[in-house]
Amino acid sequence: MFADRRGRVVDLVVGDAHTVAMMDHDIRRGTRRLAGVRCIHTHPGDSPYLSDVDLSALRQLHLDCMAVIAAADPHCGSAAYLSPGSDHAIESIGPLSYEKLCAFPWQEMVRRYEKRISSVDTTATGAEQERAFLIGLEDSVAGEERPLEELAQLAEAAGAVVVGQMTQRLERPDRATYLGSGKIRELTLALQVTRADLLIVDEELLPAQQRRLENLTGIRVVDRTALILDIFAGRARTREGKLQVELAQLHYLLPRLTGQGQALSRLGGGIGTRGPGETKLETDRRHLRRRMRDLEGELNHVRHHRERLRHSRQRLDLPLISMVGYTNAGKSTLSNLLVSRFAPFGGTSPAGEDKLFATLDPTTRRIRLLAERDVLLSDTVGFIRKLPHSLVRAFRATLEEIVAADLLLHIVDASHPAAVEQMRTVEAVLAEIGAGEKPILTVLNKIDRLQPGGIDALLRPPDPWVALSAYTGEGVDGLLEKIARLLPDDRVTIDVLIPYDEGKQIHHLYQIGVVRELTHEVEGVRVRADVPKAYVASLPGRQMTVPEKY
């Protein structure tokens, strides 16, 4: 029974031996006041003690008081209330006799609590982490031992603290509530016990499913897609990355807009505008579509800019190698290692971190192989299981770097227990973006975390493959040798005399090839260099010799 401060009954609820539904309407009246309602109830078995669920409901609903009275003689009971000295502490009394329990001055505790909380500055600082509870479905085919482990890492990457999780074995999600009705009741109790204020679902929910779950649990619900988008929004640094993330967020938000019918209608002026008018919902949808068109236009400019960059790189005739892989597989760490060691003119690359989606904005750097050959190395955004399609569409300009590559380095975290499943996920995404037929070199990373023989025991990578540790540098030379063998070598060695008034040609030779020898003569500079075959035709009339094999 729920009663207000005047003693009037505002709600009656009957449960069973396992659970009881709380009030289905919001009784909270703000952060600086209590609900103005107290709950008096009984327990099966005539227990006079408050349970953990009772105390959690008291805290979550901000009730004035929570009391339990034993149904059997002598009708003893207990009561609890929020402590006037702390926001989260609970003080309780009992068991007491029925008479003493009725005489308990709970009104005084309410006044003291509200007086104290009204004098405290409750402005949100953003420092307190959200308490997230995870739910998902078990895949009996995949046989995952910890199906929500990756979702927990995503939640932590977004800044939440995971306080609990729950799974259910279903062939497909329930169309109404994602979980079954019995599991929903169990979930509601678990949310009260853990004091969670955020529910994260390991699937992309339908808008109706999300609203239904929020109504049943009383807390905010976020699905996997919204969680990933939130992480991307926090990690985007460049203008291009921010545009792509915003477009993906609007694609996700558009079908989830809700309105209030004619209550928020807007009327125009003049003949033909009378009637219910255009609702606020329709206005918001039109605004989102307009913004999406603007973003797509800006991203088209980005796409053309990337095409121009690719054309300029193609004039250098340097092979492009793109690193792909599951998020947190070590792509950025490996890129940073290769650039710091093998960049011909020096350079840096963003350092990697041991967390999901640490690097979002792609980078392209030039490195020199052990065979004195230069290539371009591109680091792209990491993939993940159940990658939202809106992200794939929005990041089209970025992912085109993968499609244009001459060779893909598939970086795999060999120490991860789900390495095989992660490899399949990356292969599926590559096929989706049109890069499934590209030459691929599988790179098994993090071998420093494996036991001897761990690769043979856990993985059977397709040929060609190489094992290394981007953290220690072990096996990196073998990677460069393997790349050199896989890339077609179309270079020739030339001996050319360049006049002094065309010194820019020397600079160009350094850009496109490897200069072996440089000698100053009377008529100009004689250069001996390894260059692409296509460059030979661009030097007509020069005093040049080319090996006979060409």
Q: Where does 6-144 show beta strands of DSSP type E?
A: 9-11, 37-41, 65-69, 77-82, 90-96, 131-137
pLDDT in tens, 312-348: 666 666 788 999 999 888 888 898 888 888 877 655 5
> Using an 8 Å Cβ cutoff, are 364 and 339 in contact?
no
Q: Please, which residues bridge with residue 493 across strands?
A: 530
Burial of 518 (0-12, 13-18, 19+ CB in 10 A): middle
The model's confidence at residue 523, banded by pLDDT at 50, 70 and 90, is confident
Dihedral pair phi/psi, residue 22, rounded to 5°? -85, 180
- Decide if pLDDT at 374 tops 90: no
- Decide if pLDDT at 507 tops 90: no
pLDDT in tens, 197-252: 899 999 999 888 988 888 888 788 999 999 988 888 887 777 877 888 888 888 88
- Decide if pLDDT at 443 tops 90: yes
Dihedral pair phi/psi, residue 229, rounded to 5°? -65, -35
**pLDDT value at residue 550:** 42
Handedness of CA 439, 374, 330, 481 (dihedral sign): positive
Residue of higher predicted confidence among 348 and 99: 99
pLDDT in tens, 390-404: 777 777 766 777 888
Least confident of 219-223, 360-364, 420-424, 537-541: 537-541
- Decide if pLDDT at 133 tops 90: yes
Closest by CA to 313, choosing from 377, 270, 226, 394, is: 377
pLDDT in tens, 25-44: 445 455 567 888 888 888 77
**pLDDT value at residue 41:** 87
**pLDDT value at residue 125:** 44
**Domains plus CATH for the chain?**
2-118 (no CATH), 131-230 (3.40.50.11060), 309-486 (3.40.50.300), 491-545 (3.30.70)
- Decide if pLDDT at 359 tops 70: no
Dihedral pair phi/psi, residue 320, rounded to 5°? -105, 125
Handedness of CA 20, 24, 28, 31 (dihedral sign): positive
Task: Quote the pTM value.
Answer: 0.67
- Decide if pLDDT at 124 tops 60: no
Q: Please, which residues bridge with residue 183 across strands?
A: none
**pLDDT value at residue 194:** 83
pLDDT in tens, 68-90: 888 777 778 899 888 876 656 78
Closest by CA to 535, choosing from 308, 318, 373, is: 318
- Decide if pLDDT at 542 tops 60: no
Letter for the amino acid at 33?
Answer: R
